Amino acid sequence: MKIESVELFYLAMPEITEEVDGSQDALLVRVSAGGLVGWGECEAAPLPSIAAFVCPPSHGVCRPVGASVLGARLDSVADIARISAEVRYNSMDLLQSAHTLSGIEMALWDLLGRKHDAPVWSLLGFPASLAKTPYASLLFGETPEITRGRAEQARGEGFHAAKFGWGPIGRHGVAADAAQFEAARQGLGADAHLMVDAGQIFGTDVGAAADRLEALDAADVLWLEEPFDAGAFEAYAALAEHRSRVRLAGGEAAHNVHMAQHLLDYGRIGFVQVDCGRIGGIGPARQVAEMAAARKVTYVNHTFTSHLALSASLQPFAGMDCSRICEYPASPKPLAAAIAAVPIGLDADGCVRAPEAPGLGIDINVEAIRPYLVDTEIRVSGEVIYRTPDL
């Protein structure tokens, strides 16, 4: 097959707020080849990602992503790796290229799986898609009472684990944070996994993060996620030296395999979290999952948007028995909820699996997302180089 077209669709909620919620907009990717179609989703600001696909070249290794993708052959898994390598080299100085490639690469896997009538996890070499324990991915409320209510709701919906993040954490002192951790634990109950995402609020301040360890332990928190800047490996390692039951987690900010590997090797994390929509797609995420297993670190998907992205994020570790916990977008905005015609639901045991259907196993509800389509046009020297495609 030859890649005939790559279409990018900018979707957004009517109003974008300052809430740290990545499901407020989306960039969907539709790739066509050999009479088949595959879908992917980029996890980044849509407009810069579109620009990275169509922009005029600046020089030899700052070329648009589209130059390495359009017209390329796609017949095997090796072709996906080759196309990705072309993009990484030809667009190495175009910093948004990894994000743009991520959604395209997902769509290539989806398309190839549909061609071979096989789920992506099978193409990756797994004999089966194993059950994963999903954790409801939620934001802390502005008050402990709101947080407790969100935790109770998650438990009522059948979740046996939940992660709370961002919101007021790190902004109002240790006692205020401790009250939030305690409220989340009370709402979930003693037998559920509780995780905390600090959203890089402490920068490189190891002391400030360490001040919260006692409260995190008191709430029996499984991991503390992203307490520091993404590349602050020394800070991660220093915090890991403290006597605490809580393990450190991170990796969603990795834009390539090397960034994730450095966090594994130098940051001393216990859980590595990779976002297929940022790291370059499913193939690189699978590499990190293998690295993590070799280092006895638990691999976890990072997903906070649609069930298309959720399916893609499950594929790299679908058949791994050593990593059995997964992030699940429990409260997405209506836009993100509308993307998948049939979402990935929890089974009777409260578990989820990567779909058994060909490709990513997710059909797009085109009519449901049409109201969120943002009419966009990019001109250079009077020439239109991008216009919103026909959905």
Give DSSP secondary structure letters for 278-291.
Answer: TTTSHHHHHHHHHH
Q: What is the pLDDT along the chain (391 residues), one digit of tens a residue?
A: 999 999 999 999 999 988 877 889 999 999 999 999 999 999 989 999 999 999 999 998 999 999 999 999 999 999 999 999 999 999 999 999 999 999 999 999 999 999 999 999 999 999 999 999 999 989 999 999 999 999 999 999 989 999 999 899 999 999 999 999 999 999 999 999 999 999 999 999 999 999 999 999 999 999 999 999 999 999 999 999 998 899 999 999 999 999 999 999 999 999 999 999 999 999 999 999 999 999 999 999 999 899 999 999 999 999 999 999 999 988 889 999 999 999 999 898 889 999 999 999 999 999 999 999 999 999 999 999 999 999 9
**What's the pTM?**
0.93
Sheet holding 25-33, edge to edge: 3-12, 25-33, 36-42
Q: CA-to-CA distance for 49 and 386, rounded, in angstroms?
A: 12
Contact 282, 316 (CB under 8 A): yes
The full 3-state SS of 16-76, as one line of letters, equals CCCCCCHHHEEEEEEEEECCEEEEEEECCCHHHHHHHHHCCCCCCCCCCCHHHHCCCECCC
Domains of the chain: 3-117+366-387 (3.30.390.10), 123-339 (3.20.20.120)
In one-letter notation, the amino acid at residue 184 is A
